Amino acid sequence: MAQDSRWRHYGHYGARGLPGWVALAEGIDKMVTGIESPVTSERGLAARLRYLTTSDAGYEAMDRAGIHVRPATLIAWLAEERTPSKPHLARLDAAYWALRRRNVVADLKRRLGNRGRGTRIEIDPADQSWVAPRHRRTVQTRSINVRGSIWDRAVDAWIADDTRELEAIWDEIIQGGLGTDWDAYTFVSSVGWAA
């Protein structure tokens, strides 16, 4: 079912928000932690290079990010004899975060699945403060527990950038957990949880 058919023309009256599946993906993304120092600092660059050059997966991540340099250049970067150009710094940072995401998939599934107990999420509805009172939908912040294989599917869709699957998962979450007013949460201000 297309999103516009549920909300007719979302935003027409001034409601503000984002698709729930986007908020879900952003929430998963926020769970990925890593090096705090920026790639432009000596410490941040050195840590990223170490992380990327200790496994075949790291070299593959650099290749996917478009880092194609001679071995001597990479050795000079590692020895801190040369500093990568700004475009290479950006690619190294992208490669680092892509590898981090891939390396934490199993941990994310475990944390969100919580040994079968699932994770309680809080859904903040779309902001209707700009909508005239006669056009507002009656919605409030809702809290539901998401269990089962949904988290595994959500993490798999997130890592694959599968927006269709994320949208289907979001629909399943709100239809199963919010009853008849589920469509009022197709667009949200935010989705949050502690896991």
pLDDT, tens digit, 9 for 90 and up, residues 158-185: 999 999 999 999 999 998 888 777 877 8
Longest dimension (CA), the chain: 68
- Cβ atoms within 10 Å, residue 58: 19
Axis crossing angle, helix 42-52 with helix 86-103, rounded to the nearest 10:
50
Distance in angstroms between the alpha carbons of the first and the last residue of the chain? 31
Q: What is the pLDDT of residue 189?
A: 87
Q: Where are the domains of the chain?
A: 3-32+107-193, 42-103
Residue 20: helix, strand or coil by DSSP? helix
Kind of pairing between the strands at 187-193 and 119-125: antiparallel
The model's pTM is 0.82
Sheet of strand 18-19: strand arrangement? 18-19, 187-193, 119-125, 142-146
Summary mean pLDDT of the chain? 88
Please, are residues 123 and 143 in contact by the beta-carbon 8 Å criterion? yes
Structure tokens at 168: 């289907």
The residue behind tokens 């919580």 is: 114
pLDDT, tens digit, 9 for 90 and up, residues 36-88: 999 999 999 999 999 999 999 999 999 999 999 999 999 999 999 999 999 99
